[in-house]
Structure 1
Amino acid sequence: MSIRLGYQIPNFTYPGVPDEDLFDTVIAQAREAEASGFDTVLVMDHFYQLPGIGAPENAMLESYTALGALATATSRVQLSTLVTGNTYRNPALLAKCVTTLDVVSKGRAILGIGAGWFEREHHDLGFEFGTFGQRFERLEEALTIIEPMLRGEPATFEGKWYTARGAMNNPRVRPDIPIMLGGSGEQKTFRLAARFADHMNIICDVEQLPHKVAVLRQRCEEIGRDPATLATSFLVMGMVGETEQEVKELAGTIPEDRRNRAFLGTAEQVAEQLQERVLGAGIDGICINLIRNGHRPGVVAAVGAALKPLVS
């Protein structure tokens, strides 16, 4: 499993599109991504829209329900969250959700997972947030249960946060389902990725990438793992305009806290930047979202055409 070119859909607010037609627009984006060379389609695992993208009351779909529907609307792309908030689901249930998605999609599911971070969602929906350290304790325990279940083995574990007693996971269509961690923590996330993951999606400012790649490789070597066996990707906010005028307009909409993760320009200009600054830093693949205009027919295809040669 590898994500070389992923298209993330983080925005479900489309001007002029009523809620009952919203998912048609999501399907159209996924199909356009599939047809234009993207190998993976991803959605966020959130219940409210994120700060910097939109208001919290804006539309947000539950991720695994949406992915299950996209599985029936596509035929080739891998399907994943970027990434699942571990705190939102019991780990054995999450393993079951991902395995069901794999069955529905005929073997195209990836488990993307992280510790969880959006405190307001936890507060409003009644999920325990806890401390930073507690969330990573929970993630480690969850992976201890989830990994064997995704490999077709019963999970038995008695921990501080979670318990499983011979938890089984059938039906299954693959011997194992890939695990992707998302984040940037060098001490906790990267160590867990080295132990449990097939893929690491690094989320950080682009200037930090060479250092993060070096530390991730070090974490693998510390436990005797070949770093080449842990694939990497980087999440990009794509502010891609079809014309120079649109590029200028998009420049004023980049969230302040995303300026070091956003790439601005035409599709060809953004491709050049990603070649140098992301792939040149030692990253294997790119995940891109097009928050402002990805719902507009033709935009995803244009970006796919520009980016596909970089990762082929």
Structure 2
Amino acid sequence: MSIRLGYQIPNYSYPGGDPARIFPTVVAQAQAAEGAGFDTVLVMDHFYQLPGLGAPDEPMLESYTALAGIAGATETVQLSALVTGNTYRNPAMLAKTVTTLDVVSGGRAVLAIGAGWFELEHQQFGYDFGTFTDRFERLGEALDIIVPMLRGGRPSVDGTWYRTESAINEPRVRDTLPVMIGGGGERKTFGFAARYADHLNIICDADALPQKLEAVAQRCEEAGRDRSTLETSFLAFGFIAEDGDQARAMHKAFAGERGLD
């Protein structure tokens, strides 16, 4: 696995507001990203738009359904949610879902996963939110199920949060479907990445990145892992246009609408 330059689609609020035009626009973005040299296309795994990007009632597609559709319209880009909220799905079913995406796409799926954080979605959709500690305990149990299922194992887990009994996951097109963990938590998130993941996507302010990278190295050392085997990327918010002036104008308009400098 290698993500050199990924393109995330963070919203589905397009000019005109016609729901029938949402997915064709998504496909056009994915194809343009592929043509421009991006190696990965990512969508958000949310039910509502995020604070800071829009209102909760703005359009939001279910991530894995959208990714399967994008798979049929692209040829080379890797496909992932950034990141999958662990609390939204049974982990064995999630392993099945992402493996099916891998089959459908010809081996282009990436499982990016995190503990989950958007309380409003949990409350209004009826998912248990729990405490911060609860969510990370659930993520650890989930990874003990998901990772073996992606690799051809049949895990039996009798945990606090989840239970499986020799769970089967077929068909698979490879035993190397990449696992990416996303977040900025130096102890828990980075610790899980060192133990389970092929890739860590760090979410933080740019000026905090050196400190985060030091913490990644520490977690790898504690896990007995060679730091160079954990690929690392950084989530940045940018604007893409035909030229720099147009991109800067888009950024200025976006910031102005939200009262940002």
Identical-pair percentage: 62
Q: 1:125 to 1:226 in 2, by over 3 A?
A: same
Q: Which residue number in structure 1 is paired with residue 251 of structure 2?
A: 250
Once residues 32 and 213 of structure 1 are traced to their aligned partners in structure 2, the CA distance between those partners, rounded to angstroms, is 32
Residue type of the alignment partner of 1:85: G
How far did residue 253 of structure 1 move? 2.4
Q: CA deviation at 1:243?
A: 5.3
Q: What SS is found at the alignment partner of 1:41?
A: strand
AA at the equivalent of 1:199: H
The Cα shift of 1:249 comes to: 5.6
CA distance in 2, matches of 1:163, 1:101: 23
Q: CA deviation at 1:250?
A: 2.5
Please report the TM-score for the alignment, with normalisation by the length of structure 2.
Answer: 0.95
Per chain length, whose mean CA-contact separation is higher, i.e. which structure has more relative contact order (CA < 8 Å, sep 6+)?
1
C-alpha RMSD of matched pairs (Å): 1.9
Query: Structure 2: where are the runs of 5+ without partners?
Result: none
Inter-partner Cα distance in structure 1 for 2:136 and 2:19: 36
What SS is found at the alignment partner of 1:232?
Answer: strand
Q: How many residues align?
A: 260
Q: Find the aligned partners of 1:245 and 1:147 in 2 and give their Cα distance.
A: 43
| CA distance in 2 between partners of 1:128 and 1:71 (Å) | 31
TM-score (norm 1): 0.80
Mapping for residues 1-312 of structure 1, pairs under 5 Å: 1-240=1-240, 242=243, 244=245, 247-248=248-249, 250-254=251-255
Q: Secondary structure at the match of 1:155?
A: coil
Q: Distance in 2 between matches of 1:142 and 1:29?
A: 32
What is the CA distance between 1:224 and its match in structure 2? 1.2
Q: Indicate the larger mover: 12-21 or 67-76.
A: 12-21
Q: What is the distance in 2 between the residues matched to 1:256 and 1:115?
A: 31
Q: String of CA shifts for 1:194-244, please: whole Å, max 9, x gaps.
A: 000000000000000011011101111112100000001111110356453
Distance 1:199 1:253 in 2: 30
Report the CA distance shift for 1:3/1:256 in structure 2 as closer, same or farther (over 3 A).
farther
Letter in 2 for 1:169: N
Specify the SS of the correspondent of 2:152: coil
Counterpart of 1:219 in 2: which secondary structure? Answer: helix
Distance 1:67 1:26 in 2: 10
Kept in 2: contact 1:53–1:255 (CA 8 A): no
Partner-residue secondary structure (3-state), 2:216: helix
Task: Give me the whole-angstrom Cα distance separating, in 2, the residues matched to 1:171 and 1:152.
Answer: 10
Contact 1:52 1:255 in 2 (8 A): no
Q: Gapped runs of 5+ residues in structure 1?
A: 261-312
Name the amino acid aligned to 2:139: L
Aligned equivalents of 1:245, 1:21: Cα separation in 2: 24
**Whole-Å Cα distance in 1 between the matches of residues 122 and 113 of structure 2?**
16
Matched to 2:164, the amino acid is A
Q: Deviations over 1:56-83 (max 9, x none)?
A: 1000000000001111111100000000
Contact (CA 8 Å) 1:152, 1:176: kept in 2 or not? no
Assess, with a 3 A threshold, how the Cα gap between structure 1 residues 219 and 255 changes in structure 2: closer, same or farther: farther
CA distance in 2, matches of 1:56, 1:98: 26
